[in-house]
Amino acid sequence: MYPSLHDNDYLLTDKISYQLKEPKRGETVIFRAPKNEEYDYIKRIIGLPGDTVRVSDGKIYINDELLIEDYLSSDSFTYGGRFWKENQSIPVPENQYFVLGDNRSHSSDSREWGPVPRKNIIGKAWLRYWPPEQVNLLPQVDY
């Protein structure tokens, strides 16, 4: 999730909110990996159930509208993957979420293995508490 998060960051996860409401676009979530549920991943929700997601010329489009991602570096470029190809519109199925890592060139995410089932989502990352000089609430992205 670099540049938003770094290796060896320790985070608190809110596991209660999603019992009361559905995840939102832009939230950073922890989930059991769809291909191997023994591992937990952390990624950002890009597409919600019912959305159509497309990558074109390095940019993300949700329902044919450009997604402004100010949290990424200005030289960030999003490529397609094995599951999600360049210029391919992917509908996000009911009860599933399309997730991407912030470090797009080095992230295993929905581009490779498809949307994440709602049942795999553990919670929302909300506080970095380690290292001490980096303690902060994780910024919430509002699209």
Q: What is the pLDDT of residues 53-94, one digit of tens each?
A: 999 999 999 999 999 998 888 888 898 888 888 899 999 999
Backbone angles phi, psi at 97, to 5 degrees: -135, 140
Domain ranges of the chain: 10-137
CATH number of 10-137: 2.10.109.10
DSSP 88: -
**Bridge partners, 117 (sequence order):** 96
Helices within the chain (DSSP H only): 17-20, 110-113
39-58 confidence digits (pLDDT tens): 999 999 999 999 999 999 99
pTM for the structure as a whole: 0.90
